Amino acid sequence: MRALPWIACYVALALAPLAVAAFGDPIASPRPWTVEFATALGLVAFGVIAVEFALVSRLHVVARPFGNDVLMRFHRQMGFAAVAFAVGHAICALIVGTPWSCLWPHSGSLGARSGSVALWCLVALVATSVLRRRVRLPYEIWQRLHRWLALATTLAMLVHALALGSYVRAPAVRIVLIGSVAVFLALLAHYRVVRPLRAWGRPWELAALRHEGGDTRTLVLRPVGHAGFAFEPGQFVWLSTGATPFNSEEHPLSIASSAAPAALGRLELAVKALGDWSREVVPRLQPGARVWLDGPFGAFSLDRVAAQELVMIAGGIGVSPMRSMLLSMRDRGDPRRATLFYASRNRSRAPFAPHFEALAKEMNLRLVLVHEERDEQSSAEHGYVTAELLKRHLPGSLERTVFFVCGPLAMMDAVEDALAQLGVDASRIRTERFDMV
């Protein structure tokens, strides 16, 4: 229910260009329905794209009610919708007689050329996101490309609409279109200027770089000249290791340390070697190196749920937010029972496993290790986290239990299906997907 006002606000903003054009129609003579339909599709595409950046601009007022997982998935789906509206707009234009040559930026009027630029930039934006892993496009390059393509698409769409005239001849429609782009640019300026300036005034430094085994390292950070910040257990931050926070290369990392007041002031961030930055830059960091943080973000936290029992299901580096939650429970004296299912390929690929085994002796925690590779000398479960495996270890009654799931995407999908098979309602499942596309 708390999300309904925000959903209504999103729909209103996305449809604002179409609504204003419909009520402020400056065209006296009737036009074919295909022309009107093409115009409507174009205005809806414009509205959706103009609002898209607000979903990922790190505005706390927008992100807090939903969390990273929900916003990113919604952002992705609306990106597909924007492409569908834009392509539909182009197809309808061709049906009513627009030359095929207008699909290419090198020919036609300013309106036609800017429209084709907007269309192809939008298609490229979505295609590079969907195919990023398949074509092995590095995350850092994709991140910059995504930002520039979004900016080019938005500006080209505005030029296209203004150059063609039509409904945009009405002052109210021009105001809405230009205002939408102005808000987009303001959010971009806040994202690329205001936030880095704020981070620059609150630097952090690397206190220690701890190797956790396998390909995982923990960055132990301490604030420089400030007291750090409070956070909820399970939240994450964006980390930049450039000379200044204006470096466009940032990485989302879950906080792996306790959120209890006595533990604040130092942060632990676990990094798994998955890309060029984590493989090459992180191992070379030396104690004393300056780093920059933006956060905290995310709604994936035990502080936002009411539950008598907690079940955490993690895979690989997805165990980081679970560690923060469990350490916070221990330090706060939280007596609730927690069960942690920790899946990995084998013992050596399970960072923090010894930490959790020790933690199980200090608090009401049951640890279930799940190794993909069989190890006869280990008491860990073998295989994958399935409904059958969960049923063997879960408590009898699940009515007042909340589940937290974080890990590789395929594993998370499988776990959600398994919980559904066990009759767990989706409202009691919290997930965090660090899939930026």
Instruction: Give the H/E segment covering residue 40.
Output: helix 33-55
Residues facing 251 on adjacent strands? 239
Whole-angstrom distance, CA of residue 140 vs CA of residue 146: 10
- The pLDDT of residue 437 is above 70: no
Please give the pLDDT value at position 202: 93
Burial class (CB in 10 A: 0-12, 13-18, 19+), 30: exposed
Please give the pLDDT value at position 377: 63
| Res. 244 pLDDT band, cuts 50 70 90 | confident
Please give the pLDDT value at position 1: 60
What are the pLDDT digits (tens) for 211-226? 887 788 999 999 999 9
CA angle 264, 266, 270 (to 5 degrees): 120
What are the pLDDT digits (tens) for 139-157? 778 888 988 999 999 999 9
Q: Mapping DSSP to helix (H, G, I), strand (E, B) and coil, where does residue 350 land?
A: coil
What are the pLDDT digits (tens) for 258-295? 998 876 788 999 998 877 788 888 888 999 999 999 98
Widest distance between CA atoms in the chain = 83
What are the pLDDT digits (tens) for 57-67? 777 776 676 77
Rounded average pLDDT over 307-319: 89
- The pLDDT of residue 242 is above 60: yes
- The answer to whether 325 and 352 have CB atoms below 8 angstroms apart is no
Please give the pLDDT value at position 246: 86
Taking residue 100's Cβ as centre, other Cβ atoms within 10 Å add up to: 8
Rounded average pLDDT over 185-213: 89
- The pLDDT of residue 434 is above 60: yes
Mean pLDDT computed over every residue of the chain: 86
Taking residue 182's Cβ as centre, other Cβ atoms within 10 Å add up to: 13
- The answer to whether 268 and 219 have CB atoms below 8 angstroms apart is yes
Instruction: Give the H/E segment covering residue 238.
Output: strand 236-240
Please state whether 285 falls in left (phi above 0), alpha (psi between -120 and 50) or beta.
beta
Cis peptide before 296 (omega within 30 of 0): yes
DSSP code at position 129: H
What are the pLDDT digits (tens) for 373-400? 777 666 777 888 899 999 888 877 777 8
Q: Count Cα atoms within 13 angstroms, Cβ side, for 144.
A: 8
Pair of tokens at residue 257: 């340390």
Taking residue 382's Cβ as centre, other Cβ atoms within 10 Å add up to: 13
Whole-angstrom distance, CA of residue 213 vs CA of residue 31: 68
Taking residue 357's Cβ as centre, other Cβ atoms within 10 Å add up to: 12
- The pLDDT of residue 408 is above 90: no
Whole-angstrom distance, CA of residue 65 vs CA of residue 48: 20
Pair of tokens at residue 108: 């036609």
Whole-angstrom distance, CA of residue 169 vs CA of residue 26: 7
Q: Mapping DSSP to helix (H, G, I), strand (E, B) and coil, where does residue 291 land?
A: strand
Whole-angstrom distance, CA of residue 94 vs CA of residue 97: 5
Taking residue 431's Cβ as centre, other Cβ atoms within 10 Å add up to: 22
